[in-house]
Structure 1
Amino acid sequence: MTAIHPSAQIAEGASIGAGVRIGPFCAIGPEAVIEDGAELVSHVVVDGATRIGAGAKVLPFASIGTPPQDTKYKGEPTRCELGARSLVREGVTIHRASVGGGGVTRVGAGCMLMAQAHVAHDCILGDGVILANNVMLGGHVHVGDGAFLGGGAAVHQTVRIGRLAMVSGLAGVTNDIPPFGYVFGLPARLVGFNKVGLLRRGASRDQLRTLRLANALLFKDPGEFAARLQQAAERWPDEPLVQEIIAFIRDPDRRRQLVRPGRMTAPELGGVDEENGEGQ
Protein backbone atom coordinates (compact mmCIF):
# COMPACT_ATOMS: atom_id res chain seq x y z
CA MET A 1 0.00 0.00 0.00
CA THR A 2 1.05 3.60 -0.60
CA ALA A 3 2.34 5.19 2.61
CA ILE A 4 2.81 8.97 2.94
CA HIS A 5 4.04 10.49 6.19
CA PRO A 6 1.78 13.27 7.53
CA SER A 7 4.66 15.79 7.46
CA ALA A 8 5.33 15.27 3.74
CA GLN A 9 4.15 18.06 1.42
CA ILE A 10 2.56 16.71 -1.78
CA ALA A 11 1.47 19.47 -4.16
CA GLU A 12 -1.84 19.20 -5.96
CA GLY A 13 -1.27 17.70 -9.39
CA ALA A 14 1.56 15.37 -8.41
CA SER A 15 1.08 11.76 -9.53
CA ILE A 16 1.80 9.11 -6.90
CA GLY A 17 1.85 5.46 -7.98
CA ALA A 18 0.87 2.30 -6.15
CA GLY A 19 3.03 1.13 -3.30
CA VAL A 20 4.98 4.39 -3.08
CA ARG A 21 6.51 5.25 0.29
CA ILE A 22 7.14 8.92 1.10
CA GLY A 23 8.79 9.61 4.43
CA PRO A 24 8.92 12.61 6.76
CA PHE A 25 9.42 16.14 5.45
CA CYS A 26 9.61 15.31 1.76
CA ALA A 27 8.45 18.01 -0.67
CA ILE A 28 6.89 16.90 -3.99
CA GLY A 29 6.09 19.47 -6.68
CA PRO A 30 2.87 19.63 -8.75
CA GLU A 31 4.43 18.24 -11.95
CA ALA A 32 6.22 15.32 -10.30
CA VAL A 33 5.47 11.70 -11.14
CA ILE A 34 6.47 9.06 -8.58
CA GLU A 35 6.05 5.63 -10.15
CA ASP A 36 4.95 2.39 -8.48
CA GLY A 37 7.03 1.11 -5.60
CA ALA A 38 9.41 4.06 -5.38
CA GLU A 39 10.57 5.21 -1.95
CA LEU A 40 11.60 8.65 -0.73
CA VAL A 41 13.05 8.01 2.71
CA SER A 42 12.89 11.51 4.22
CA HIS A 43 13.72 15.18 3.56
CA VAL A 44 13.75 14.62 -0.23
CA VAL A 45 12.85 17.40 -2.68
CA VAL A 46 11.34 16.48 -6.07
CA ASP A 47 10.76 19.60 -8.15
CA GLY A 48 9.67 20.49 -11.67
CA ALA A 49 8.56 18.03 -14.34
CA THR A 50 10.41 15.14 -12.74
CA ARG A 51 9.73 11.42 -13.01
CA ILE A 52 11.00 8.99 -10.37
CA GLY A 53 11.04 5.50 -11.84
CA ALA A 54 9.40 2.40 -10.44
CA GLY A 55 11.22 0.87 -7.51
CA ALA A 56 13.73 3.71 -7.23
CA LYS A 57 14.92 4.68 -3.74
CA VAL A 58 16.02 8.17 -2.70
CA LEU A 59 17.68 8.78 0.66
CA PRO A 60 17.59 11.90 2.86
CA PHE A 61 18.46 15.39 1.66
CA ALA A 62 18.64 14.48 -2.02
CA SER A 63 17.24 17.05 -4.45
CA ILE A 64 15.94 15.96 -7.86
CA GLY A 65 14.61 18.14 -10.65
CA THR A 66 15.51 21.54 -9.21
CA PRO A 67 16.47 24.31 -11.70
CA PRO A 68 19.79 24.12 -13.52
CA GLN A 69 22.78 26.20 -12.42
CA ASP A 70 22.77 27.97 -15.78
CA THR A 71 22.55 31.77 -15.94
CA LYS A 72 20.70 31.51 -19.26
CA TYR A 73 17.86 29.50 -17.74
CA LYS A 74 14.72 31.60 -17.20
CA GLY A 75 12.26 28.98 -16.01
CA GLU A 76 11.51 27.37 -19.37
CA PRO A 77 9.78 23.95 -19.21
CA THR A 78 12.38 21.18 -19.09
CA ARG A 79 12.40 17.72 -17.52
CA CYS A 80 14.32 15.37 -15.25
CA GLU A 81 14.09 11.55 -15.08
CA LEU A 82 15.40 8.99 -12.62
CA GLY A 83 15.29 5.44 -13.93
CA ALA A 84 13.62 2.42 -12.39
CA ARG A 85 15.38 0.68 -9.48
CA SER A 86 18.03 3.37 -9.21
CA LEU A 87 19.45 4.23 -5.79
CA VAL A 88 20.15 7.85 -4.87
CA ARG A 89 22.09 8.31 -1.65
CA GLU A 90 22.26 11.19 0.83
CA GLY A 91 22.69 14.72 -0.44
CA VAL A 92 22.72 13.93 -4.16
CA THR A 93 21.64 16.72 -6.52
CA ILE A 94 20.19 16.07 -9.98
CA HIS A 95 19.17 19.21 -11.88
CA ARG A 96 16.57 19.40 -14.61
CA ALA A 97 17.65 20.35 -18.12
CA SER A 98 18.36 23.75 -19.57
CA VAL A 99 17.00 25.04 -22.87
CA GLY A 100 20.39 24.58 -24.52
CA GLY A 101 20.30 20.79 -24.46
CA GLY A 102 17.77 18.11 -25.31
CA GLY A 103 15.28 19.32 -22.72
CA VAL A 104 15.84 16.45 -20.29
CA THR A 105 18.34 15.34 -17.66
CA ARG A 106 18.16 11.55 -17.49
CA VAL A 107 19.60 8.96 -15.11
CA GLY A 108 19.06 5.44 -16.40
CA ALA A 109 17.74 2.31 -14.71
CA GLY A 110 19.63 0.47 -12.01
CA CYS A 111 22.09 3.28 -11.34
CA MET A 112 23.71 4.04 -7.99
CA LEU A 113 24.56 7.62 -7.09
CA MET A 114 26.49 7.71 -3.83
CA ALA A 115 26.44 10.49 -1.24
CA GLN A 116 26.86 14.09 -2.39
CA ALA A 117 27.24 13.26 -6.10
CA HIS A 118 26.09 16.00 -8.49
CA VAL A 119 24.44 15.49 -11.90
CA ALA A 120 24.17 18.82 -13.71
CA HIS A 121 21.64 19.96 -16.30
CA ASP A 122 21.25 18.00 -19.55
CA CYS A 123 23.38 15.07 -18.40
CA ILE A 124 22.44 11.66 -19.77
CA LEU A 125 23.46 8.59 -17.78
CA GLY A 126 22.90 5.11 -19.17
CA ASP A 127 21.76 2.06 -17.23
CA GLY A 128 23.83 0.64 -14.40
CA VAL A 129 26.08 3.68 -13.97
CA ILE A 130 27.79 4.10 -10.59
CA LEU A 131 28.89 7.49 -9.29
CA ALA A 132 30.89 7.21 -6.07
CA ASN A 133 30.84 9.85 -3.33
CA ASN A 134 31.26 13.47 -4.39
CA VAL A 135 31.47 12.84 -8.13
CA MET A 136 30.73 16.05 -10.04
CA LEU A 137 29.30 16.01 -13.56
CA GLY A 138 29.20 19.29 -15.46
CA GLY A 139 26.37 20.11 -17.82
CA HIS A 140 25.66 18.03 -20.94
CA VAL A 141 27.87 15.10 -19.87
CA HIS A 142 26.96 11.72 -21.36
CA VAL A 143 27.89 8.54 -19.49
CA GLY A 144 27.51 5.12 -21.12
CA ASP A 145 25.93 2.01 -19.60
CA GLY A 146 27.84 0.39 -16.75
CA ALA A 147 30.46 3.10 -16.37
CA PHE A 148 32.03 3.61 -12.94
CA LEU A 149 33.30 6.97 -11.66
CA GLY A 150 35.42 6.94 -8.52
CA GLY A 151 35.01 9.24 -5.55
CA GLY A 152 35.64 12.93 -6.10
CA ALA A 153 36.05 12.65 -9.86
CA ALA A 154 35.19 15.85 -11.71
CA VAL A 155 33.95 15.77 -15.31
CA HIS A 156 33.99 18.85 -17.55
CA GLN A 157 30.80 19.84 -19.36
CA THR A 158 30.02 18.16 -22.73
CA VAL A 159 32.39 15.24 -22.05
CA ARG A 160 31.28 11.79 -23.20
CA ILE A 161 32.24 8.70 -21.23
CA GLY A 162 31.85 5.41 -23.08
CA ARG A 163 30.17 2.21 -21.99
CA LEU A 164 31.89 0.32 -19.15
CA ALA A 165 34.57 2.98 -18.82
CA MET A 166 36.26 3.36 -15.44
CA VAL A 167 37.35 6.69 -13.93
CA SER A 168 39.69 6.70 -10.95
CA GLY A 169 38.92 8.64 -7.80
CA LEU A 170 39.86 12.34 -7.85
CA ALA A 171 40.41 12.26 -11.61
CA GLY A 172 39.88 15.45 -13.59
CA VAL A 173 38.18 14.50 -16.85
CA THR A 174 38.33 17.16 -19.55
CA ASN A 175 38.16 15.00 -22.68
CA ASP A 176 36.12 12.06 -23.99
CA ILE A 177 36.81 8.57 -22.66
CA PRO A 178 36.30 5.69 -25.13
CA PRO A 179 34.25 2.64 -24.19
CA PHE A 180 36.01 0.29 -21.73
CA GLY A 181 38.76 2.83 -21.10
CA TYR A 182 40.39 3.26 -17.69
CA VAL A 183 41.58 6.79 -16.86
CA PHE A 184 43.62 8.13 -14.00
CA GLY A 185 44.97 11.46 -12.79
CA LEU A 186 44.61 15.22 -13.11
CA PRO A 187 44.22 15.78 -15.97
CA ALA A 188 42.94 12.26 -16.58
CA ARG A 189 45.00 10.07 -18.89
CA LEU A 190 44.05 6.77 -20.54
CA VAL A 191 46.12 4.09 -18.80
CA GLY A 192 44.34 0.87 -19.76
CA PHE A 193 40.97 -0.76 -20.12
CA ASN A 194 38.35 -2.19 -17.78
CA LYS A 195 39.18 -5.87 -18.09
CA VAL A 196 37.32 -6.96 -14.97
CA GLY A 197 34.16 -5.09 -15.92
CA LEU A 198 34.16 -6.73 -19.33
CA LEU A 199 34.69 -10.20 -17.87
CA ARG A 200 31.79 -9.69 -15.48
CA ARG A 201 29.56 -8.89 -18.43
CA GLY A 202 30.47 -11.95 -20.46
CA ALA A 203 33.41 -10.91 -22.61
CA SER A 204 35.59 -13.84 -23.61
CA ARG A 205 39.34 -14.12 -23.09
CA ASP A 206 39.79 -14.01 -26.87
CA GLN A 207 37.86 -10.75 -27.01
CA LEU A 208 40.06 -9.28 -24.28
CA ARG A 209 43.22 -10.28 -26.13
CA THR A 210 41.89 -8.63 -29.26
CA LEU A 211 40.93 -5.53 -27.32
CA ARG A 212 44.43 -5.33 -25.83
CA LEU A 213 45.95 -5.44 -29.32
CA ALA A 214 43.51 -2.83 -30.57
CA ASN A 215 44.25 -0.52 -27.64
CA ALA A 216 47.96 -0.81 -28.29
CA LEU A 217 47.48 0.02 -31.96
CA LEU A 218 45.17 2.95 -31.31
CA PHE A 219 46.77 4.53 -28.27
CA LYS A 220 50.40 3.39 -28.05
CA ASP A 221 51.81 2.73 -31.53
CA PRO A 222 53.54 5.52 -33.46
CA GLY A 223 52.12 7.16 -36.54
CA GLU A 224 49.17 9.30 -37.54
CA PHE A 225 46.11 8.53 -35.41
CA ALA A 226 43.63 8.63 -38.31
CA ALA A 227 45.66 5.99 -40.13
CA ARG A 228 45.83 3.77 -37.06
CA LEU A 229 42.09 4.16 -36.56
CA GLN A 230 41.44 3.01 -40.12
CA GLN A 231 43.87 0.15 -39.71
CA ALA A 232 42.02 -1.06 -36.60
CA ALA A 233 38.67 -0.82 -38.38
CA GLU A 234 39.95 -2.98 -41.25
CA ARG A 235 41.86 -5.46 -39.08
CA TRP A 236 38.94 -6.30 -36.76
CA PRO A 237 35.76 -5.71 -38.78
CA ASP A 238 33.83 -8.42 -36.93
CA GLU A 239 34.92 -7.67 -33.37
CA PRO A 240 32.07 -5.69 -31.75
CA LEU A 241 34.11 -4.31 -28.86
CA VAL A 242 36.72 -2.82 -31.17
CA GLN A 243 34.07 -1.51 -33.54
CA GLU A 244 32.27 0.13 -30.61
CA ILE A 245 35.42 2.08 -29.73
CA ILE A 246 35.90 3.12 -33.35
CA ALA A 247 32.29 4.27 -33.69
CA PHE A 248 32.63 6.30 -30.49
CA ILE A 249 35.74 8.04 -31.80
CA ARG A 250 34.19 8.73 -35.19
CA ASP A 251 30.91 10.08 -33.81
CA PRO A 252 30.28 13.31 -35.76
CA ASP A 253 28.50 14.88 -32.77
CA ARG A 254 31.56 14.61 -30.54
CA ARG A 255 32.38 18.05 -29.11
CA ARG A 256 35.59 17.37 -27.21
CA GLN A 257 38.92 15.77 -28.00
CA LEU A 258 39.75 12.21 -27.02
CA VAL A 259 41.53 11.66 -23.72
CA ARG A 260 45.28 11.33 -24.18
CA PRO A 261 47.11 8.12 -23.31
CA GLY A 262 49.43 8.02 -20.31
CA ARG A 263 51.15 5.64 -17.94
CA MET A 264 50.83 5.14 -14.21
CA THR A 265 53.98 5.00 -12.13
CA ALA A 266 54.45 2.16 -9.66
CA PRO A 267 53.22 3.95 -6.49
CA GLU A 268 50.05 4.97 -8.31
CA LEU A 269 49.05 1.57 -9.60
CA GLY A 270 46.57 0.48 -6.97
CA GLY A 271 44.28 -2.03 -8.69
CA VAL A 272 45.80 -1.70 -12.15
CA ASP A 273 48.09 -4.18 -13.87
CA GLU A 274 51.26 -2.19 -14.63
CA GLU A 275 52.10 -4.02 -17.84
CA ASN A 276 48.63 -4.13 -19.35
CA GLY A 277 46.85 -1.26 -17.63
CA GLU A 278 43.84 -3.41 -16.75
CA GLY A 279 41.35 -1.75 -14.41
CA GLN A 280 40.15 -3.74 -11.42
Structure 2
Amino acid sequence: MLLAFDIGNSNTVLGVFKDGKLLTNWRIETDPNKSADEYGMLVNQLFAYEGLKLTDIKDVIISTVVPSVLYTVQHMSQKYFNKRAIVVESGVKTGLIVKYDNPKQVGADRIVNAVAAINKYGGPLIIIDFGTATTFCAVTEKAEYLGGTIAPGLKIASEALFEKTSMLPKVELDEPGHTICKNTIQSMQSGLVYGHMGMVEFMVKKMRKELEEHCGTHKPVTVVATGGLSTMIENGVDCIDYVDKLLTLEGLEIIYRKNRKPSKHAHKNYDWNNEQ
Protein backbone atom coordinates (compact mmCIF):
# COMPACT_ATOMS: atom_id res chain seq x y z
CA MET A 1 0.00 0.00 0.00
CA LEU A 2 0.99 3.62 -0.58
CA LEU A 3 0.50 6.44 1.94
CA ALA A 4 0.28 9.88 0.29
CA PHE A 5 0.56 13.23 2.11
CA ASP A 6 -0.57 16.54 0.62
CA ILE A 7 0.59 19.11 3.19
CA GLY A 8 -1.03 22.51 2.67
CA ASN A 9 -0.78 25.72 4.67
CA SER A 10 -4.08 25.11 6.47
CA ASN A 11 -4.83 21.40 6.06
CA THR A 12 -3.04 18.15 5.34
CA VAL A 13 -4.81 15.49 3.30
CA LEU A 14 -3.72 11.86 3.66
CA GLY A 15 -4.70 8.99 1.40
CA VAL A 16 -4.01 5.26 1.34
CA PHE A 17 -3.81 3.51 -2.03
CA LYS A 18 -3.83 -0.19 -2.80
CA ASP A 19 -3.02 -1.32 -6.35
CA GLY A 20 -3.59 2.20 -7.61
CA LYS A 21 -7.02 2.63 -6.01
CA LEU A 22 -7.74 5.05 -3.17
CA LEU A 23 -8.98 3.09 -0.15
CA THR A 24 -9.55 5.94 2.26
CA ASN A 25 -8.53 9.53 2.95
CA TRP A 26 -8.50 12.01 5.83
CA ARG A 27 -8.15 15.77 6.26
CA ILE A 28 -6.31 17.08 9.33
CA GLU A 29 -5.03 20.48 10.40
CA THR A 30 -1.47 21.31 9.38
CA ASP A 31 0.38 22.10 12.60
CA PRO A 32 4.06 23.12 12.33
CA ASN A 33 4.38 22.72 16.11
CA LYS A 34 3.58 19.01 16.08
CA SER A 35 6.50 16.61 16.47
CA ALA A 36 7.15 13.53 14.34
CA ASP A 37 5.84 11.39 17.20
CA GLU A 38 2.62 13.41 17.45
CA TYR A 39 2.00 13.03 13.71
CA GLY A 40 2.88 9.34 14.02
CA MET A 41 0.39 8.76 16.81
CA LEU A 42 -2.32 10.66 14.92
CA VAL A 43 -1.77 8.58 11.78
CA ASN A 44 -1.78 5.42 13.90
CA GLN A 45 -5.18 6.37 15.34
CA LEU A 46 -6.58 7.09 11.86
CA PHE A 47 -5.30 3.74 10.63
CA ALA A 48 -6.78 1.89 13.62
CA TYR A 49 -10.19 3.47 12.99
CA GLU A 50 -10.15 2.13 9.41
CA GLY A 51 -8.73 -1.27 10.38
CA LEU A 52 -5.39 -0.61 8.70
CA LYS A 53 -1.93 -1.45 10.01
CA LEU A 54 1.20 0.66 9.78
CA THR A 55 3.01 -2.40 8.44
CA ASP A 56 0.63 -2.47 5.45
CA ILE A 57 2.37 0.62 4.04
CA LYS A 58 5.15 -0.18 1.59
CA ASP A 59 5.90 3.37 0.39
CA VAL A 60 5.24 7.00 1.34
CA ILE A 61 5.05 10.06 -0.92
CA ILE A 62 4.83 13.69 0.20
CA SER A 63 3.80 16.91 -1.53
CA THR A 64 4.07 20.10 0.52
CA VAL A 65 4.15 23.88 0.33
CA VAL A 66 5.15 24.08 4.01
CA PRO A 67 8.90 23.43 4.29
CA SER A 68 8.85 23.58 8.10
CA VAL A 69 6.56 20.53 8.24
CA LEU A 70 8.36 18.52 5.57
CA TYR A 71 11.26 17.38 7.78
CA THR A 72 8.83 16.39 10.54
CA VAL A 73 6.72 14.18 8.27
CA GLN A 74 9.84 12.71 6.64
CA HIS A 75 11.14 11.80 10.09
CA MET A 76 7.75 10.34 10.98
CA SER A 77 7.78 8.23 7.80
CA GLN A 78 11.22 6.88 8.65
CA LYS A 79 10.37 6.12 12.30
CA TYR A 80 6.85 4.73 12.01
CA PHE A 81 6.89 3.15 8.53
CA ASN A 82 10.62 2.52 8.12
CA LYS A 83 10.34 4.18 4.70
CA ARG A 84 12.31 6.98 3.09
CA ALA A 85 9.50 9.08 1.61
CA ILE A 86 9.46 10.28 -1.98
CA VAL A 87 9.17 14.09 -1.95
CA VAL A 88 7.67 15.90 -4.93
CA GLU A 89 10.43 18.35 -5.77
CA SER A 90 12.81 19.31 -8.55
CA GLY A 91 14.13 16.22 -10.34
CA VAL A 92 11.14 13.99 -9.64
CA LYS A 93 9.58 12.55 -12.80
CA THR A 94 6.12 14.00 -13.41
CA GLY A 95 5.39 13.71 -17.12
CA LEU A 96 5.08 17.51 -17.36
CA ILE A 97 7.23 19.97 -19.28
CA VAL A 98 7.37 23.01 -16.97
CA LYS A 99 7.58 26.33 -18.82
CA TYR A 100 7.78 28.54 -15.72
CA ASP A 101 10.68 31.04 -15.75
CA ASN A 102 12.10 29.25 -12.72
CA PRO A 103 10.55 25.77 -12.42
CA LYS A 104 11.73 25.47 -8.81
CA GLN A 105 9.29 28.24 -7.84
CA VAL A 106 6.21 26.25 -8.85
CA GLY A 107 4.38 24.92 -5.80
CA ALA A 108 4.44 21.15 -5.52
CA ASP A 109 0.65 21.07 -5.12
CA ARG A 110 0.21 22.84 -8.46
CA ILE A 111 2.46 20.32 -10.20
CA VAL A 112 0.67 17.36 -8.61
CA ASN A 113 -2.76 18.74 -9.56
CA ALA A 114 -1.59 19.23 -13.15
CA VAL A 115 -0.28 15.66 -13.34
CA ALA A 116 -3.60 14.24 -12.16
CA ALA A 117 -5.73 16.49 -14.37
CA ILE A 118 -3.80 15.87 -17.61
CA ASN A 119 -4.02 12.12 -16.97
CA LYS A 120 -7.75 12.15 -16.17
CA TYR A 121 -9.14 14.84 -18.46
CA GLY A 122 -6.54 15.51 -21.15
CA GLY A 123 -5.62 19.02 -22.30
CA PRO A 124 -5.78 21.89 -22.72
CA LEU A 125 -6.69 22.52 -19.10
CA ILE A 126 -7.29 25.20 -16.52
CA ILE A 127 -6.97 23.88 -12.97
CA ILE A 128 -8.32 25.91 -10.06
CA ASP A 129 -7.35 24.99 -6.51
CA PHE A 130 -9.42 26.65 -3.79
CA GLY A 131 -7.07 26.36 -0.85
CA THR A 132 -5.42 28.88 1.47
CA ALA A 133 -4.61 30.63 -1.79
CA THR A 134 -6.75 30.26 -4.92
CA THR A 135 -4.47 29.17 -7.76
CA PHE A 136 -5.14 28.94 -11.49
CA CYS A 137 -2.88 26.78 -13.67
CA ALA A 138 -2.77 26.38 -17.46
CA VAL A 139 -1.68 23.10 -19.08
CA THR A 140 -1.56 22.32 -22.81
CA GLU A 141 -2.62 19.07 -24.46
CA LYS A 142 1.11 18.31 -24.83
CA ALA A 143 1.41 18.28 -21.02
CA GLU A 144 3.21 21.64 -20.97
CA TYR A 145 2.71 23.45 -17.67
CA LEU A 146 2.61 27.09 -18.80
CA GLY A 147 2.04 28.85 -15.49
CA GLY A 148 -0.93 30.64 -13.99
CA THR A 149 -2.22 33.00 -11.34
CA ILE A 150 -2.17 33.07 -7.53
CA ALA A 151 -4.86 34.99 -5.63
CA PRO A 152 -5.80 35.24 -1.94
CA GLY A 153 -8.12 32.44 -0.91
CA LEU A 154 -11.56 33.02 0.57
CA LYS A 155 -10.46 32.28 4.12
CA ILE A 156 -7.48 34.64 3.88
CA ALA A 157 -9.73 37.41 2.55
CA SER A 158 -12.25 36.83 5.34
CA GLU A 159 -9.58 36.86 8.04
CA ALA A 160 -8.04 40.03 6.60
CA LEU A 161 -11.37 41.86 6.77
CA PHE A 162 -11.76 40.86 10.42
CA GLU A 163 -8.16 41.57 11.48
CA LYS A 164 -7.62 44.82 9.59
CA THR A 165 -10.90 46.55 10.41
CA SER A 166 -12.22 47.76 13.75
CA MET A 167 -15.92 46.95 13.42
CA LEU A 168 -16.27 44.06 11.00
CA PRO A 169 -16.92 40.66 12.63
CA LYS A 170 -15.80 37.16 11.69
CA VAL A 171 -18.32 35.56 9.36
CA GLU A 172 -19.10 32.10 8.04
CA LEU A 173 -18.26 31.63 4.38
CA ASP A 174 -21.74 31.15 2.99
CA GLU A 175 -23.91 32.56 0.21
CA PRO A 176 -26.34 35.21 1.52
CA GLY A 177 -28.62 34.77 -1.51
CA HIS A 178 -28.43 38.36 -2.70
CA THR A 179 -25.98 41.24 -3.18
CA ILE A 180 -28.16 44.09 -1.86
CA CYS A 181 -27.74 43.12 1.77
CA LYS A 182 -29.30 44.81 4.78
CA ASN A 183 -26.88 43.77 7.53
CA THR A 184 -23.11 43.69 7.96
CA ILE A 185 -22.68 39.90 8.10
CA GLN A 186 -24.55 39.25 4.86
CA SER A 187 -22.83 42.22 3.21
CA MET A 188 -19.47 40.68 4.01
CA GLN A 189 -20.58 37.24 2.86
CA SER A 190 -21.77 38.72 -0.41
CA GLY A 191 -18.51 40.54 -1.03
CA LEU A 192 -16.38 37.54 -0.12
CA VAL A 193 -18.28 34.73 -1.84
CA TYR A 194 -19.81 36.49 -4.85
CA GLY A 195 -16.70 38.60 -5.28
CA HIS A 196 -14.62 35.40 -5.44
CA MET A 197 -17.03 33.90 -7.96
CA GLY A 198 -16.69 37.01 -10.12
CA MET A 199 -12.91 36.79 -9.92
CA VAL A 200 -13.03 33.13 -10.98
CA GLU A 201 -15.29 33.88 -13.95
CA PHE A 202 -13.02 36.70 -15.16
CA MET A 203 -9.79 34.79 -14.63
CA VAL A 204 -11.02 31.70 -16.45
CA LYS A 205 -12.30 33.79 -19.38
CA LYS A 206 -8.98 35.60 -19.76
CA MET A 207 -6.83 32.49 -19.20
CA ARG A 208 -8.93 30.47 -21.66
CA LYS A 209 -8.30 33.07 -24.37
CA GLU A 210 -4.54 33.14 -23.69
CA LEU A 211 -4.37 29.33 -23.63
CA GLU A 212 -6.25 29.01 -26.93
CA GLU A 213 -3.92 31.56 -28.53
CA HIS A 214 -0.86 29.72 -27.24
CA CYS A 215 -2.06 26.33 -28.43
CA GLY A 216 -3.21 27.65 -31.80
CA THR A 217 -6.22 25.38 -31.68
CA HIS A 218 -9.91 25.70 -31.00
CA LYS A 219 -10.01 22.49 -28.97
CA PRO A 220 -12.21 23.16 -25.93
CA VAL A 221 -10.40 24.04 -22.70
CA THR A 222 -11.48 21.89 -19.76
CA VAL A 223 -11.74 23.64 -16.39
CA VAL A 224 -11.22 21.47 -13.31
CA ALA A 225 -11.65 22.71 -9.73
CA THR A 226 -10.36 21.17 -6.53
CA GLY A 227 -9.94 22.19 -2.90
CA GLY A 228 -12.23 22.48 0.08
CA LEU A 229 -14.37 25.38 -1.18
CA SER A 230 -14.59 24.24 -4.80
CA THR A 231 -18.16 22.97 -4.58
CA MET A 232 -19.54 26.23 -3.16
CA ILE A 233 -17.85 28.34 -5.84
CA GLU A 234 -18.81 25.92 -8.63
CA ASN A 235 -22.47 26.29 -7.68
CA GLY A 236 -22.35 29.99 -8.51
CA VAL A 237 -20.34 30.05 -11.75
CA ASP A 238 -20.74 28.62 -15.25
CA CYS A 239 -17.07 28.19 -16.14
CA ILE A 240 -16.14 25.05 -14.17
CA ASP A 241 -16.58 21.70 -15.91
CA TYR A 242 -15.54 19.32 -13.13
CA VAL A 243 -15.09 19.44 -9.36
CA ASP A 244 -12.51 16.85 -8.28
CA LYS A 245 -11.63 17.09 -4.60
CA LEU A 246 -9.29 14.09 -4.69
CA LEU A 247 -7.22 15.46 -7.57
CA THR A 248 -4.05 16.04 -5.54
CA LEU A 249 -4.02 12.60 -3.93
CA GLU A 250 -4.54 10.96 -7.32
CA GLY A 251 -1.68 13.03 -8.74
CA LEU A 252 0.60 11.82 -5.96
CA GLU A 253 -0.22 8.20 -6.78
CA ILE A 254 0.55 8.80 -10.48
CA ILE A 255 3.89 10.43 -9.64
CA TYR A 256 4.71 7.55 -7.32
CA ARG A 257 4.21 5.08 -10.16
CA LYS A 258 6.37 7.15 -12.50
CA ASN A 259 9.23 7.14 -10.02
CA ARG A 260 9.00 3.65 -8.49
CA LYS A 261 7.35 1.46 -11.10
CA PRO A 262 8.39 2.65 -14.57
CA SER A 263 6.86 0.83 -17.51
CA LYS A 264 8.64 0.05 -20.75
CA HIS A 265 5.48 1.02 -22.61
CA ALA A 266 4.91 4.34 -20.84
CA HIS A 267 5.32 7.69 -22.57
CA LYS A 268 8.60 9.49 -22.01
CA ASN A 269 8.76 11.06 -18.56
CA TYR A 270 10.11 14.54 -18.11
CA ASP A 271 11.92 15.89 -15.10
CA TRP A 272 10.29 18.84 -13.37
CA ASN A 273 13.05 21.12 -14.67
CA ASN A 274 13.04 19.76 -18.24
CA GLU A 275 12.01 22.29 -20.87
CA GLN A 276 11.81 21.88 -24.62
Q: Which TM class, normalised by the smaller chain length?
A: under 0.3
TM-score, with length taken from structure 2? 0.24
In proportion to residue count, which structure has more helix?
Answer: 2
TM-score, with length taken from structure 1? 0.24
